[in-house]
Structure 1
């Protein structure tokens, strides 16, 4: 069975609190560990009231204390928002707390407007241009390169596993050049998936960290007892996506039966587009959809995303997904 991992955005649901969101994330991570998922990743997002993972390293410490064996990490840290030295310290600390369990996925797109740039005291356009150099510097800091003028303590000599994230050809090319594992965000940006994986594999250069290309692809997955139930629990995220793309972001709403049928053609088109990398339905439906996706992409791992209004429904979805593929 292909290894499965979990991507969690730490959703904040309508009528819910931040504390409830962090508790639900810890519970979800325990469920993922219990059912045999390989990794549990949290993504960095800012100024979004429906997503509570902005302080990613802090959330990962919370998840680490709630679990004992599953790998935990960022999917990802948006490096232009930070400087490499601070990230080396943060993830070196996490590695000391949870040895051999820490992944550091790095992304280039800060996803920030002028207000956030001012709040971060960063020229994010210039920082994005420095992304390749910053990745190399961060890797040297974590390795404890003696030629560096300064050492990160904690950080140097840690066993953090670095990943390159992407939704375009840029990340694929950089991951190949640096000999890094690569994860593609096909769950929300499927357009360049096939071309990016092809480029990554063709241009991969072995490194001290990775001998051969290793690619992960993301899918939106909702598994329930029936196709109809899966569509229902998945409608909360579908509502959030449509609202985000139409300039009305907010907290995660309750599910709506038959939600897709209420949408105009353009919104239905949005959902159909991202549905290229999704598996929504009964265990048999999900097993078939993931099988087709793996056959198409040749992915070495799949990371599953998908927020539900009821946290218990997401935990059940993970359980049924693993059982479906194990069958």
Structure 2
């Protein structure tokens, strides 16, 4: 939602963009760190700072047999703000969201802008229930924001009603657990929050995650089978064949062959899973297929499903 007005330049007060001349402080992280570890826009930990501090915090919980929780926060439809009002407006929203995260976390928590509109919060000595309450407060804080921005056309706009999807996971790490496991579980919860309609907190459910992983494995198997059927120099031809609506089904079948067609059809119901697959440890070639081929696969299978029997 947005309220538009013309007037004097907007003063963002304490929520203005990060002042690079000010001392570096990574949001609510455990200790001040160098500029290399800090996200310059929000003042929170950046990706490098997270990679430096989060594993140590996790290992500390592991040594002490203490519960640790993770929040993964993704702003809903944030791209629309950048597209409609410009990237400087999006930057102001990100800074305001960072202020909400800082206000609702402790000095011992690690708060990170991990990239784009995704934030991570690592909460040591925190149960899943406690983490869910923190996430709910953050969700309400983001929704209550009144963010004043200036559009590229010079209009002053107050943005309100921003929402977020938040995934929550926690565990007492055993000797065999890793931070990657906790991130994986939290990401699974975040994806369920998005599928459930966004603007909500979703706590990780191990049983539901196991079922999703089974579907993931099947979809990835089909994707890699498709990759094996083709050499890399066939990719442009495949993309043209899939996206050219003028081609009839027989022509596509002659270009791709029946094995490839069958594999494409098996992928029909797994587009969501495969878009997530970039988060798994896949080869660069597999990620290329996910990025370049899946949209064309989805469009083609919607038109020609059942061509090969």
TM-score > 0.5 by shorter chain: no
Answer with 1 or 2: which has the greater Rg: 2
Greater relative contact order: 1 or 2 (C-alpha under 8 angstroms, separation 6 or more)? Answer: 1
TM-score computed with the length of structure 1 as normaliser: 0.28
Give the structure-2-normalised TM-score: 0.29
